Amino acid sequence: MICALIAAYNEARHVGAVVTAALSHVDHVVVVDDGSSDGTDKEAAAAGATVLRQESNRGKGSALRLGLAHVLAGPYTHVLFLDGDGQHDPAEIPKLTGRIAHGGGDFVLAERELNPDAMPPARYYSNVIGSWILSRFIGAEVSDSQSGFRLIRSDLLRRARLTGSKYEIETEMLIKLVRAGARVERVTVRRLQYAGAQSKMRPFRDTFRTCMLAVRYRYLEG
Protein backbone atom coordinates (compact mmCIF):
# COMPACT_ATOMS: atom_id res chain seq x y z
CA MET A 1 0.00 0.00 0.00
CA ILE A 2 1.26 3.45 -0.92
CA CYS A 3 0.36 6.78 0.66
CA ALA A 4 1.25 10.05 -1.02
CA LEU A 5 2.41 12.84 1.29
CA ILE A 6 2.20 16.46 0.19
CA ALA A 7 3.38 19.53 2.11
CA ALA A 8 1.54 22.58 0.79
CA TYR A 9 1.66 26.29 1.51
CA ASN A 10 -0.86 28.60 -0.24
CA GLU A 11 -1.45 26.15 -3.09
CA ALA A 12 -5.25 26.37 -3.34
CA ARG A 13 -4.98 26.86 -7.12
CA HIS A 14 -3.14 23.59 -7.70
CA VAL A 15 -3.43 21.18 -4.79
CA GLY A 16 -6.89 19.82 -5.63
CA ALA A 17 -5.83 18.74 -9.11
CA VAL A 18 -2.62 17.20 -7.76
CA VAL A 19 -4.55 15.20 -5.14
CA THR A 20 -7.12 13.99 -7.66
CA ALA A 21 -4.45 12.87 -10.11
CA ALA A 22 -2.32 11.20 -7.43
CA LEU A 23 -5.28 9.17 -6.19
CA SER A 24 -5.31 7.40 -9.55
CA HIS A 25 -1.97 5.81 -8.65
CA VAL A 26 -1.79 5.48 -4.85
CA ASP A 27 -4.04 4.18 -2.08
CA HIS A 28 -4.32 7.39 -0.08
CA VAL A 29 -3.14 11.00 -0.02
CA VAL A 30 -2.25 13.07 3.05
CA VAL A 31 -1.79 16.82 2.66
CA VAL A 32 -0.15 18.91 5.37
CA ASP A 33 -1.27 22.52 5.09
CA ASP A 34 1.71 24.51 6.34
CA GLY A 35 -0.18 27.53 7.66
CA SER A 36 -1.85 28.57 4.40
CA SER A 37 -4.22 31.52 4.25
CA ASP A 38 -5.88 30.79 0.90
CA GLY A 39 -8.02 27.73 1.61
CA THR A 40 -5.45 25.12 0.60
CA ASP A 41 -6.79 22.77 3.29
CA LYS A 42 -10.36 22.99 1.98
CA GLU A 43 -9.33 22.35 -1.63
CA ALA A 44 -7.23 19.35 -0.64
CA ALA A 45 -10.00 17.84 1.48
CA ALA A 46 -12.58 18.36 -1.26
CA ALA A 47 -10.34 16.42 -3.65
CA GLY A 48 -10.21 13.43 -1.31
CA ALA A 49 -7.10 13.93 0.81
CA THR A 50 -6.73 13.58 4.55
CA VAL A 51 -5.64 17.05 5.68
CA LEU A 52 -3.41 17.94 8.61
CA ARG A 53 -2.78 21.57 9.39
CA GLN A 54 -0.07 23.65 10.99
CA GLU A 55 -1.51 26.93 12.20
CA SER A 56 1.60 28.88 11.19
CA ASN A 57 4.05 28.52 8.30
CA ARG A 58 6.87 26.45 9.81
CA GLY A 59 8.60 25.13 6.70
CA LYS A 60 8.48 22.12 4.41
CA GLY A 61 10.54 19.88 6.68
CA SER A 62 8.33 20.57 9.66
CA ALA A 63 5.23 19.82 7.57
CA LEU A 64 6.66 16.57 6.22
CA ARG A 65 7.65 15.37 9.68
CA LEU A 66 4.11 16.02 10.92
CA GLY A 67 2.74 14.12 7.94
CA LEU A 68 5.16 11.23 8.40
CA ALA A 69 4.14 10.79 12.03
CA HIS A 70 0.59 10.27 10.78
CA VAL A 71 1.33 8.14 7.71
CA LEU A 72 3.89 5.84 9.34
CA ALA A 73 1.36 4.92 12.03
CA GLY A 74 -0.72 3.34 9.28
CA PRO A 75 -0.41 0.17 7.16
CA TYR A 76 1.42 1.69 4.21
CA THR A 77 4.49 -0.06 2.81
CA HIS A 78 5.77 3.02 0.97
CA VAL A 79 5.45 6.80 1.16
CA LEU A 80 5.38 8.81 -2.06
CA PHE A 81 6.51 12.43 -1.66
CA LEU A 82 5.47 15.07 -4.18
CA ASP A 83 4.79 18.79 -4.21
CA GLY A 84 1.33 20.33 -4.26
CA ASP A 85 2.10 23.17 -6.65
CA GLY A 86 1.92 21.25 -9.92
CA GLN A 87 5.69 21.05 -10.43
CA HIS A 88 5.58 17.25 -10.19
CA ASP A 89 3.36 15.46 -12.68
CA PRO A 90 1.29 12.78 -10.90
CA ALA A 91 0.97 10.97 -14.24
CA GLU A 92 4.61 9.97 -13.77
CA ILE A 93 4.03 8.28 -10.42
CA PRO A 94 4.03 4.81 -12.08
CA LYS A 95 7.67 5.38 -13.05
CA LEU A 96 8.47 5.31 -9.34
CA THR A 97 5.97 2.75 -8.09
CA GLY A 98 6.87 0.38 -10.92
CA ARG A 99 10.20 -0.28 -9.20
CA ILE A 100 8.38 -2.05 -6.36
CA ALA A 101 7.14 -4.76 -8.72
CA HIS A 102 10.75 -5.47 -9.72
CA GLY A 103 11.98 -5.96 -6.17
CA GLY A 104 13.23 -2.40 -5.71
CA GLY A 105 11.68 0.60 -4.10
CA ASP A 106 13.99 1.27 -1.14
CA PHE A 107 14.44 4.89 -2.22
CA VAL A 108 13.38 5.88 -5.72
CA LEU A 109 14.40 9.42 -6.68
CA ALA A 110 12.66 11.12 -9.59
CA GLU A 111 15.31 13.21 -11.32
CA ARG A 112 14.17 16.03 -13.55
CA GLU A 113 15.74 16.82 -16.88
CA LEU A 114 18.01 19.71 -15.92
CA ASN A 115 18.14 21.98 -18.95
CA PRO A 116 19.91 25.33 -18.42
CA ASP A 117 17.92 26.85 -21.28
CA ALA A 118 14.57 25.92 -19.77
CA MET A 119 15.19 26.62 -16.07
CA PRO A 120 15.85 29.79 -14.10
CA PRO A 121 19.68 30.05 -13.93
CA ALA A 122 19.74 30.23 -10.14
CA ARG A 123 17.70 27.02 -9.85
CA TYR A 124 19.83 25.21 -12.42
CA TYR A 125 23.26 26.04 -11.00
CA SER A 126 22.28 25.62 -7.36
CA ASN A 127 20.90 22.18 -8.14
CA VAL A 128 23.96 21.09 -10.15
CA ILE A 129 26.36 22.26 -7.44
CA GLY A 130 24.28 20.88 -4.59
CA SER A 131 23.87 17.50 -6.29
CA TRP A 132 27.61 17.20 -6.95
CA ILE A 133 28.40 17.91 -3.30
CA LEU A 134 25.72 15.55 -2.03
CA SER A 135 26.92 12.73 -4.30
CA ARG A 136 30.28 12.92 -2.56
CA PHE A 137 28.62 12.72 0.85
CA ILE A 138 26.40 9.72 0.19
CA GLY A 139 28.77 7.78 -2.08
CA ALA A 140 26.16 7.43 -4.82
CA GLU A 141 25.69 9.54 -7.91
CA VAL A 142 22.58 11.74 -7.98
CA SER A 143 21.94 14.53 -10.45
CA ASP A 144 18.86 16.13 -8.86
CA SER A 145 19.27 16.08 -5.10
CA GLN A 146 16.70 18.86 -4.67
CA SER A 147 13.88 16.85 -6.20
CA GLY A 148 11.13 16.31 -3.67
CA PHE A 149 9.47 13.71 -5.93
CA ARG A 150 10.49 10.40 -4.36
CA LEU A 151 9.23 7.02 -3.14
CA ILE A 152 10.61 5.50 0.07
CA ARG A 153 9.93 2.30 2.00
CA SER A 154 8.03 2.98 5.21
CA ASP A 155 10.17 0.71 7.36
CA LEU A 156 13.28 2.69 6.41
CA LEU A 157 11.55 5.97 7.26
CA ARG A 158 10.46 4.61 10.63
CA ARG A 159 14.11 4.02 11.54
CA ALA A 160 15.30 7.46 10.47
CA ARG A 161 15.42 10.32 12.96
CA LEU A 162 14.60 13.31 10.79
CA THR A 163 15.10 16.80 12.22
CA GLY A 164 15.03 19.19 9.23
CA SER A 165 12.47 21.97 9.30
CA LYS A 166 12.87 23.39 5.81
CA TYR A 167 14.05 22.17 2.38
CA GLU A 168 17.12 20.52 3.84
CA ILE A 169 14.97 17.59 4.95
CA GLU A 170 15.27 16.15 1.44
CA THR A 171 19.06 16.02 1.73
CA GLU A 172 18.74 14.66 5.25
CA MET A 173 16.59 11.79 3.97
CA LEU A 174 19.15 10.87 1.32
CA ILE A 175 22.13 10.88 3.65
CA LYS A 176 20.54 9.14 6.62
CA LEU A 177 18.68 6.49 4.63
CA VAL A 178 21.70 5.60 2.51
CA ARG A 179 23.77 5.30 5.67
CA ALA A 180 21.08 2.92 6.95
CA GLY A 181 21.50 0.74 3.88
CA ALA A 182 18.87 2.04 1.47
CA ARG A 183 19.54 1.50 -2.23
CA VAL A 184 18.93 4.64 -4.25
CA GLU A 185 17.29 4.09 -7.62
CA ARG A 186 16.90 6.92 -10.12
CA VAL A 187 14.18 7.51 -12.68
CA THR A 188 13.98 10.40 -15.11
CA VAL A 189 10.86 12.56 -15.23
CA ARG A 190 9.94 15.51 -17.38
CA ARG A 191 11.34 18.88 -16.42
CA LEU A 192 9.20 21.32 -14.51
CA GLN A 193 7.01 23.89 -16.21
CA TYR A 194 8.35 26.93 -14.41
CA ALA A 195 5.98 29.38 -16.05
CA GLY A 196 3.02 27.71 -14.36
CA ALA A 197 4.42 26.92 -10.95
CA GLN A 198 6.65 29.15 -8.89
CA SER A 199 8.98 27.44 -6.44
CA LYS A 200 9.22 28.90 -2.94
CA MET A 201 12.82 27.74 -2.62
CA ARG A 202 15.52 30.42 -2.50
CA PRO A 203 18.12 28.63 -4.63
CA PHE A 204 21.54 29.84 -3.43
CA ARG A 205 20.61 30.54 0.17
CA ASP A 206 18.76 27.26 0.64
CA THR A 207 21.40 25.23 -1.22
CA PHE A 208 24.21 26.71 0.90
CA ARG A 209 22.27 26.00 4.08
CA THR A 210 21.55 22.45 2.92
CA CYS A 211 25.21 21.75 2.11
CA MET A 212 26.32 22.97 5.52
CA LEU A 213 23.72 20.86 7.25
CA ALA A 214 24.76 17.86 5.13
CA VAL A 215 28.04 17.83 7.06
CA ARG A 216 26.09 17.45 10.28
CA TYR A 217 23.82 14.75 8.90
CA ARG A 218 26.75 12.77 7.52
CA TYR A 219 29.18 12.97 10.43
CA LEU A 220 27.37 14.04 13.58
CA GLU A 221 23.90 12.49 13.44
CA GLY A 222 22.75 8.90 13.13
Strands of the sheet containing 28-34, edge to edge, are 50-54, 28-34, 2-8, 78-81, 150-153, 107-112, 184-189
Quick one: 45 exposed, middle or buried, by C-beta within 10 A (0-12, 13-18, 19+)? middle
Strands 150-153 and 28-34, how do they pair?
unpaired
pLDDT, residue 114, reads 64
pLDDT tens-digit map of 146-204: 789 999 999 999 999 999 898 889 888 988 898 888 999 999 998 655 444 455 555 55
Q: What is the CATH number of the domain that holds 28?
A: 3.90.550.10
Give the total number of structural domains in the chain: 1
Is the entire prediction scored with pTM above 0.85? no
Q: In this model, does residue 138 exceed pLDDT 80?
A: no
pLDDT digits (tens, 9 = 90+) for 80-124: 999 999 989 999 999 999 999 888 889 999 987 766 555 666 566
Contact between 127 and 194 (Cβ < 8 Å): no
Is the pLDDT score of 211 beyond 70?
A: no
User: Which segments within the chain are labelled E, that is strand?
Assistant: 2-8, 28-34, 50-54, 78-81, 107-112, 150-153, 184-189
Q: What residue numbers bound the domain in which 107 lies? A: 2-219
